[in-house]
Amino acid sequence: KYTKFSISYYWINSLGQKTSIYHRLENVPIPPGKENKTATIPYDYTVTSLENTSSTGTYYCNVKWDDIQIMGKGVFVLARDTGYVETFYVWEILITLTVLLAVLSITTTALLLWKRKVLCPRRNQVNILRNKVETQPPSASPPPPPPPVYD
């Protein structure tokens, strides 16, 4: 009595409409020595491709004997156009921060070197200034002192 049954796969969309996907009839022979015993036989069905986002819904399996009908719990499937893409910006932020710090470091170093060249005369220029001061006659007024040098 229970060796002949039908298996149906269908889905119910968000509007509550039932759409049949697959249906097949089964006739399972009972092996010798297994009569009057409960048996479990798995039947898998794979939904190969979802047509579009309207394929979103709950998918069910239904098994029907002459006097009994059993329905599965259902699996909810959410279909999207582009798929799920996780937005993760840690690498972008890290690279941007590194580039910004590098630019600031190079700029600061260049400014410090440029200021040093402007404020610090070369050694031979200091000696030339000293020689000029020493060779001036004593009656002349002394030149103003050079500006202080800072490193």
Least confident of 19-23, 42-46, 110-114: 42-46
Q: What is the mean pLDDT of the chain?
A: 78
| Residue 151 included in any domain | no
**Looking at the structure, do residues 66 and 97 belong to the same domain, yes or no?**
no
**Looking at the structure, do residues 12 and 44 belong to the same domain, yes or no?**
yes
Structural domain that includes position 31: 4-77
Nearest Cα to Cα of residue 11 among 22, 25, 1? 22
| Residue 145 included in any domain | no
Separation of alpha carbons 18 and 20, rounded Å: 7
**Looking at the structure, do residues 115 and 69 belong to the same domain, yes or no?**
no
Distance of CA 111 to the CA centre of its chain: 39
**Looking at the structure, do residues 93 and 55 belong to the same domain, yes or no?**
no
| Share above pLDDT 70 across residues of the chain, in percent, rounded to a whole number | 71
| Share above pLDDT 90 across residues of the chain, in percent, rounded to a whole number | 16
81, HSE (Cβ side, Cα atoms, 13 Å): 0
Query: Considering its fold, how many domains does the chain have in total?
Result: 2
pLDDT level of residue 140 (50, 70, 90 thresholds)? low
pLDDT level of residue 29 (50, 70, 90 thresholds)? confident
| Residue 66 included in any domain | yes
Contact by Cβ (8 Å): 54, 38: no
Asked if residue 105 has pLDDT above 90, the reply is yes
**Looking at the structure, do residues 99 and 67 belong to the same domain, yes or no?**
no
